[in-house]
Chain A
Amino acid sequence: MTSTHIAQVKRARRLSHDAGWGYLMVAPTILGLIILNIYPFFHSFYMSFSETMLFGNWEWVGLDNYRKMFSDPNMWRATGNTLYFVLLTVPLGIFLALAFASMLNSQIKGRDALRAIYFLPMIVAPAAIAMVWKWLYNTEYGLINQFLSLLIGDDVKINWISNPKLALPAAAIVAIWSSIGYDIILLLAGLQAIPRSYYEAADIDGANFISKFFHITIPMVSPTMFFVLIMRLMAALKQFDLVYMMITDTNPAFQQSQTLMYLFYRESFQVGNKGYASALVLWTFVIILAFTAIQFVGQKKWVHYDQ
């Protein structure tokens, strides 16, 4: 037996030894993922083909839940409301996040303090945010109507959260406000990774601010923007907490504001149709999957990864 052979065996042993440690280290996360995410996912899928009775009993009903779902006007309305919410929050949210991130990336006064301030809403519980905004939106005493009254010198009585046309946009404003800090931090990191030399080269070539923004900043920050876009899309498609806290089921705007997750919650925990609720979740899953797939195909046109 040669010494090199012995060394090889030793190394192989150490490798498998190291691999064992590796598995041990990731076990808590993987187990958590299996127990809390992967198993429930398949269980939800299974449940969507059954009618759940009380106390964990169920009966196999095949496609009944799906048949019921696609002929349920509430489901289509909720789907429409959810897509509308995406439209309201995603483009504007990302645009504002990028604008603020660019601002915070420049040499402005109090930059660090501003960065902290913009991030603040992220650390507040969504339920607390919804309660505070509900007061701001209050028709009679809300600060928003008071401020508008001062501004135009007339009594403003806008029913922010009970007018069917305004309730979802009002919730969208809160959603953007509460998530923008997180997006700003992500985009700021992306902006800071852009080498200064690119801008210097552009300056020498005589490029102005606009062309620098579109030809250097946007392409360079596009991988981060793509990530933010996907995150924001999913968050918007899964909207529940803000709408649930601000718009109750006796609100006149309820039908025009009920999102898919809100409908799921009501079916699952209030009505007790867990099977039907599982079908609703699967439907939401399909929508999110479709949106994500489109993004992954579409990204080839605008996302630049440095190889």
Chain B
Amino acid sequence: MKTRFLALFLILGLVLSLAACGGSASTTAAAGGQAATTAAPAGDSGEKVKLTFGIWDSYQKPGMEALAAAYTAKNPNVTIEVQVTGWDEYWTKLEAAASGGELPDIFWMHTNEFVKYASNNMLVDVTNLYDGATDAGYSNFPEGLVKNFTYDGKLYGVPKDWDTIGLAYNKEIFDQAGVKYPDDTWTWDTLVEAAKTIKEKTGIYGFAAPYDDQQGFLNTVYQAGGFTVADGKTGYNTDATKMGLAYYISLQKDYDFSPTQEQFADADAGTLFQSGQVAMQFLGSWNITPYMNNEDIKGKFDIAILPKATNPVSGEGRASIYNGLAYATSTKGKNQAAALEFLKFLGTKEANIIHGESGAAIPAFNGTSETWLTKFPELNLKAYTDMMEYGIQFPGSKTKSKWGPIEKQTIMEVYNGTLTVDEAVAKLETEVGAILATE
């Protein structure tokens, strides 16, 4: 009898622990955020202040630490601790921390999530941060970036950096196949021809076309003159969007020069490119530092601007998805005064030069992008900054966390062969439209 009761008790405990996992996960995340803020009350009176600085990219940690060190050199009473949390966990943790009023003093903000935080009064309005300053101000940043972090006419973040998408190619494989390197004359057709030739001559995959939005179909959709979501409206079911989407998907499905979605499940496009198994891929500028840290690919690749659409439905056929980050601070921060001072510093030309020279990302301050180009002079990084001219802001809206997964699942069905492009865009038009209507 005893054994039976023991078993029953143990089992009850286990069953309860399952049903409990819904709530407890966010509790622990909140506790993690809580530990982050431990400092004396803020002030510029010379009191010791310790600020926490939350970021998600470990490759940019040295850059952020250089900024912190430069600030501490001038303000010895302020020390700044950079805390890295991986991308997925970063947002889970940040939301839990925000709910508990325990956000880091300074943290990176992304356009995907910005509206959600700004509209819920989580971020400090920094519109007037540079009032009275002569050497700094928001007019020094690209207009689009400032607009990205503006909500209801107020600015809630200091622009940090921006990125665009370029065409990365492996020079060794191109030489081996005897194909001319990509340049600004390339079109969609040239890309297909080059990829075909490389595959025929060398047996190596010519181009990697995995499912991807920012480094994938969004670029071709906008090159064709289409759009997915803009100003709270959907543009999926238009000829131009269909053309761009169909072209990008065809690169994997209609030719044999790209690995398939099955193969990308084993190893992603970046891994394949870095190990010399594909000759070309669409590559975001934030990947340059990790690629240059990899001895296998360093020195073998270069960057060109994206090919233009062959016969776009409208426009010039040029587009590259750009996006930018901002530094933000919390309305509930205990060290708000000190955090705002640091934020102010981060938006100066001096800070942007430190940022650029560290190679972390393209600094946002006008005229400082050159500093990023000089980090790796052997690469044609100018391709990235040149494309800013026709850069298209990475689409987003307040409910992106809800329609984003639907977009992914629906387009994946085209890859799986259960939907055609026409059916997929019709479905997206209705389903994403319904979610946008709730905003």
Footprint of B on A, CB under 8 Å?
33, 36-41, 43-45, 47, 54-56, 134, 137-140, 142, 159, 161-163, 223, 226-227, 230-231, 234, 238, 247-255, 264, 266, 268-274, 277-278, 281-282, 284-285, 288-289, 292, 296, 305, 307
Q: Is A36 touching B20 in the complex (CB atoms < 8 A)?
A: yes
Encode B150-180 as 1/0 by CB contact (under 8 A) with A: 0000000000000000000000000000000
CA distance A249 to B409 in the complex (A): 8
CA distance A43 to B25 in the complex (A): 12
Chain B residue with minimal CB distance to A282? B19
Q: A36-B27, A54-B120 are in contact. List 6 more A-B contacts (CB 8 A).
A: A40-B24, A45-B19, A230-B11, A250-B265, A252-B412, A255-B416
Which of A36, A238, A255, A268 is close to B22, meaning CB atoms less than 8 Å apart? A268
Q: Is A162 touching B23 in the complex (CB atoms < 8 A)?
A: no
Which of A44, A252, A266, A277 is close to B415, meaning CB atoms less than 8 Å apart? A252
Which residues on A sit within 8 Å (CB–CB) of B437?
none
Q: How far is the CB of B41 from chain A (nearest CB, A)?
A: 25
Q: Is A266 touching B15 in the complex (CB atoms < 8 A)?
A: no
Q: Is A249 touching B1 in the complex (CB atoms < 8 A)?
A: no
B4 at the interface (CB under 8 A from A): yes
Which of B17, B22, B211, B409 is close to A274, meaning CB atoms less than 8 Å apart? B22
Given contacts A55-B98, A55-B120, A231-B14, A250 and B24 within 8 Å (CB-CB): no
Which of B4, B10, B262, B415 is close to A139, meaning CB atoms less than 8 Å apart? B262
Which residues on A sit within 8 Å (CB–CB) of B70?
none
CA distance A40 to B409 in the complex (A): 31
Given contacts A227-B7, A252-B415, A271 and B405 within 8 Å (CB-CB): yes
B383 at the interface (CB under 8 A from A): no
B402 at the interface (CB under 8 A from A): yes
CA distance A281 to B25 in the complex (A): 13
10 intermolecular pairs with C-beta atoms under 8 Å apart: A41-B16, A43-B23, A44-B20, A47-B22, A227-B10, A252-B416, A281-B18, A285-B18, A292-B11, A305-B1
Closest 4 CB pairs of A and B: A40-B23, A162-B262, A44-B22, A162-B265
B116 at the interface (CB under 8 A from A): yes
Interface of B is mostly: helix
For chain B, which range describes its interface: under 10, 10 to 19, 20 to 34, or 35 or more residues? 35 or more
Q: Is A247 touching B265 in the complex (CB atoms < 8 A)?
A: yes
Chain A residue with minimal CB distance to B22? A44
Q: Is B20 touching A41 in the complex (CB atoms < 8 A)?
A: yes
Q: How far is the CB of A52 from chain B (nearest CB, A)?
A: 10
Q: Is B116 touching A54 in the complex (CB atoms < 8 A)?
A: yes
Q: How far is the CB of A155 from chain B (nearest CB, A)?
A: 15
CA distance A41 to B23 in the complex (A): 7
Q: Is B11 touching A37 in the complex (CB atoms < 8 A)?
A: no
CA distance A72 to B405 in the complex (A): 15
Q: How far is the CB of B214 from chain A (nearest CB, A)?
A: 13
CA distance A273 to B405 in the complex (A): 12
B106 at the interface (CB under 8 A from A): no
Which residues on A sit within 8 Å (CB–CB) of B18?
234, 238, 281, 284-285, 288
Interface of A is mostly: helix
Chain B residue with minimal CB distance to A33? B13
Chain A residue with minimal CB distance to B411? A250
Chain A residue with minimal CB distance to B28? A36
B99 at the interface (CB under 8 A from A): yes
Q: How far is the CB of A291 from chain B (nearest CB, A)?
A: 10
CA distance A277 to B21 in the complex (A): 11
CA distance A271 to B408 in the complex (A): 12
Which of A138, A231, A272 is close to B266, meaning CB atoms less than 8 Å apart? A138
CA distance A55 to B98 in the complex (A): 6
Q: How far is the CB of A43 from chain B (nearest CB, A)?
A: 5
Q: Is B266 touching A250 in the complex (CB atoms < 8 A)?
A: no
Which residues on A sit within 8 Å (CB–CB) of B401?
270-272
CA distance A288 to B19 in the complex (A): 10
Q: Is A140 touching B266 in the complex (CB atoms < 8 A)?
A: yes
Q: Is A41 touching B19 in the complex (CB atoms < 8 A)?
A: yes
Given contacts A37-B16, A223-B7, A247-B265, A272 and B405 within 8 Å (CB-CB): no
Q: Is B95 touching A54 in the complex (CB atoms < 8 A)?
A: yes
Which residues on A sit within 8 Å (CB–CB) of B210?
250
Which residues on A sit within 8 Å (CB–CB) of B40?
none
Given contacts A250-B210, A272-B402, A292-B11, A305 and B4 within 8 Å (CB-CB): yes
B77-108 with Cβ < 8 A to chain A: 88, 92, 95, 98-99
CA distance A284 to B261 in the complex (A): 31
Which of B14, B265, B412 is close to A161, meaning CB atoms less than 8 Å apart? B265
Q: How far is the CB of B109 from chain A (nearest CB, A)?
A: 15
Which residues on B sit within 8 Å (CB–CB) of A249?
405, 408-409, 412
Chain A residue with minimal CB distance to B259? A140
Which residues on A sit within 8 Å (CB–CB) of B263?
139-140, 162
CA distance A268 to B211 in the complex (A): 23
CA distance A288 to B408 in the complex (A): 31
Q: Is B19 touching A254 in the complex (CB atoms < 8 A)?
A: no
Q: Is B265 touching A281 in the complex (CB atoms < 8 A)?
A: no
